[in-house]
Amino acid sequence: MERTFLFARDISDYVDKLPKKITNIEIGGQLVRSGGSVGANYIEADKSFSKNEAKKSKYLLNLSIPT
């Protein structure tokens, strides 16, 4: 799980550094959503790790905390 979290965090950091152009905003938003969903889907699918939606929400919220 940590690998997917770091992947999503790296994508978020990269997108934050892009110039604020409309194309970067649109594509960057999609990139952040898809990159973050990798780990969130892993958490949701791994029944031995998580049985409720709170774990998935916590994962996604942690992505927004500055490094």
Position 50 scores a pLDDT of 47
SS3 call for 60: helix
Q: Give the integer Cα–Cα distance in Å for 8 and 4.
A: 6
Quote the tokens at residue 34. 């898809």
pTM: 0.65
pLDDT by residue (tens digit) across 48-67?
Answer: 554 566 677 777 777 776 65
pLDDT by residue (tens digit) across 5-39?
Answer: 899 999 999 999 999 999 889 999 999 999 888 88
